[in-house]
Amino acid sequence: MKRKNKKRLLILFMVLIATIMITGLQANAVSERATLDNIEYSSENIPTEKLERIVKTMYGISEDTGENTRNILCIFGHSKANGTTKIIEHRYYSTAPKCRETISAIEYCTRSGCDYFMVLHTAYNRIVCCP
Protein backbone atom coordinates (compact mmCIF):
# COMPACT_ATOMS: atom_id res chain seq x y z
CA MET A 1 0.00 0.00 0.00
CA LYS A 2 2.81 2.40 0.83
CA ARG A 3 4.53 1.79 -2.53
CA LYS A 4 1.37 2.79 -4.42
CA ASN A 5 1.09 6.00 -2.44
CA LYS A 6 4.75 6.82 -3.05
CA LYS A 7 4.35 6.21 -6.80
CA ARG A 8 1.24 8.37 -6.97
CA LEU A 9 2.96 11.14 -5.05
CA LEU A 10 6.01 10.95 -7.32
CA ILE A 11 3.83 11.09 -10.47
CA LEU A 12 1.86 14.02 -9.09
CA PHE A 13 5.10 15.84 -8.25
CA MET A 14 6.51 15.24 -11.76
CA VAL A 15 3.30 16.54 -13.38
CA LEU A 16 3.43 19.64 -11.20
CA ILE A 17 7.07 20.34 -12.15
CA ALA A 18 6.30 19.83 -15.86
CA THR A 19 3.35 22.23 -15.63
CA ILE A 20 5.49 24.91 -13.97
CA MET A 21 8.21 24.53 -16.60
CA ILE A 22 5.76 24.75 -19.51
CA THR A 23 4.13 27.85 -18.03
CA GLY A 24 7.53 29.51 -17.69
CA LEU A 25 8.43 28.71 -21.30
CA GLN A 26 5.15 30.16 -22.55
CA ALA A 27 5.69 33.37 -20.56
CA ASN A 28 9.16 33.77 -22.08
CA ALA A 29 7.84 33.21 -25.61
CA VAL A 30 5.27 35.98 -25.21
CA SER A 31 7.73 38.50 -23.77
CA GLU A 32 10.31 37.82 -26.52
CA ARG A 33 7.68 38.37 -29.20
CA ALA A 34 6.78 41.89 -28.08
CA THR A 35 8.53 44.80 -29.77
CA LEU A 36 7.40 48.37 -30.09
CA ASP A 37 7.05 47.80 -33.86
CA ASN A 38 4.22 45.29 -33.53
CA ILE A 39 2.39 46.98 -30.62
CA GLU A 40 -0.24 49.65 -31.08
CA TYR A 41 -1.48 51.43 -27.94
CA SER A 42 -3.93 54.18 -27.11
CA SER A 43 -5.70 55.82 -24.20
CA GLU A 44 -8.15 58.65 -23.88
CA ASN A 45 -7.25 59.60 -20.31
CA ILE A 46 -3.52 58.84 -19.84
CA PRO A 47 -0.98 61.34 -21.21
CA THR A 48 0.99 60.04 -24.23
CA GLU A 49 4.43 60.15 -22.57
CA LYS A 50 3.17 58.29 -19.47
CA LEU A 51 1.36 55.74 -21.64
CA GLU A 52 4.46 55.02 -23.72
CA ARG A 53 6.59 54.45 -20.60
CA ILE A 54 3.89 52.23 -19.05
CA VAL A 55 3.60 50.08 -22.21
CA LYS A 56 7.38 49.74 -22.55
CA THR A 57 7.67 48.68 -18.91
CA MET A 58 4.72 46.24 -19.14
CA TYR A 59 6.26 44.45 -22.14
CA GLY A 60 9.86 44.59 -20.95
CA ILE A 61 11.07 46.69 -23.89
CA SER A 62 12.04 49.73 -21.85
CA GLU A 63 15.50 51.16 -22.40
CA ASP A 64 15.51 52.50 -18.84
CA THR A 65 17.33 50.74 -16.05
CA GLY A 66 14.17 50.58 -13.97
CA GLU A 67 11.25 52.49 -12.60
CA ASN A 68 11.81 55.92 -11.13
CA THR A 69 9.30 56.13 -8.28
CA ARG A 70 11.40 58.43 -6.14
CA ASN A 71 10.12 61.82 -7.21
CA ILE A 72 10.74 64.20 -4.29
CA LEU A 73 7.05 65.14 -4.34
CA CYS A 74 6.04 61.47 -3.96
CA ILE A 75 7.77 60.98 -0.59
CA PHE A 76 4.46 61.17 1.25
CA GLY A 77 2.42 59.44 -1.45
CA HIS A 78 1.77 59.48 -5.17
CA SER A 79 -0.73 61.72 -6.89
CA LYS A 80 -2.75 58.83 -8.28
CA ALA A 81 -5.15 58.82 -11.21
CA ASN A 82 -6.94 56.02 -13.04
CA GLY A 83 -7.06 55.40 -16.75
CA THR A 84 -7.64 52.68 -19.32
CA THR A 85 -5.38 51.53 -22.12
CA LYS A 86 -6.02 49.54 -25.27
CA ILE A 87 -2.99 47.66 -26.58
CA ILE A 88 -3.08 45.69 -29.84
CA GLU A 89 -0.32 43.20 -30.52
CA HIS A 90 -0.19 42.49 -34.25
CA ARG A 91 0.49 38.93 -35.48
CA TYR A 92 0.43 37.58 -31.93
CA TYR A 93 -1.20 34.26 -32.89
CA SER A 94 -0.15 32.04 -35.78
CA THR A 95 -3.75 31.34 -36.85
CA ALA A 96 -6.60 33.73 -37.64
CA PRO A 97 -7.62 35.95 -35.94
CA LYS A 98 -3.97 36.84 -35.44
CA CYS A 99 -4.06 39.92 -33.20
CA ARG A 100 -4.50 40.20 -29.45
CA GLU A 101 -6.21 43.18 -27.88
CA THR A 102 -5.45 43.92 -24.24
CA ILE A 103 -7.62 46.35 -22.31
CA SER A 104 -6.20 47.36 -18.93
CA ALA A 105 -7.34 49.56 -16.09
CA ILE A 106 -4.27 51.34 -14.76
CA GLU A 107 -3.57 53.44 -11.70
CA TYR A 108 -0.63 55.79 -12.25
CA CYS A 109 1.13 58.79 -10.68
CA THR A 110 0.38 62.08 -12.43
CA ARG A 111 3.58 63.82 -11.31
CA SER A 112 6.29 64.25 -13.94
CA GLY A 113 9.40 62.20 -13.32
CA CYS A 114 7.53 59.46 -11.48
CA ASP A 115 7.00 56.15 -13.27
CA TYR A 116 4.75 54.54 -10.66
CA PHE A 117 1.85 52.55 -12.10
CA MET A 118 -0.22 49.53 -11.16
CA VAL A 119 -2.35 47.39 -13.46
CA LEU A 120 -5.69 46.91 -11.71
CA HIS A 121 -7.54 44.79 -14.25
CA THR A 122 -6.75 43.28 -17.64
CA ALA A 123 -8.95 41.69 -20.30
CA TYR A 124 -7.69 39.91 -23.42
CA ASN A 125 -9.55 39.57 -26.73
CA ARG A 126 -8.56 37.85 -29.96
CA ILE A 127 -9.33 40.22 -32.84
CA VAL A 128 -8.97 40.49 -36.61
CA CYS A 129 -6.74 43.40 -37.57
CA CYS A 130 -3.99 42.16 -39.89
CA PRO A 131 -3.63 39.48 -42.61
Q: What is the mean pLDDT of each run of 10 residues along the chain (131 residues)?
A: 75 74 52 65 90 86 62 85 93 88 94 88 89 61
**Rounded Cα gap, residues 104 and 11, in angstroms:** 39
Map out the domains of the chain as residue ranges.
Answer: 1-33, 34-127
- Give residue 24's pLDDT: 55
- Give residue 119's pLDDT: 92
* Residue 6 CB burial class (10 angstroms; 0-12, 13-18, ≥19): exposed
> Which amino acid appears at position 102 of this protein?
T
- Give residue 28's pLDDT: 41
- Give residue 80's pLDDT: 93
- Give residue 26's pLDDT: 47
DSSP bridge pairs for 99: 127
- Give residue 65's pLDDT: 54
**Rounded Cα gap, residues 78 and 126, in angstroms:** 34
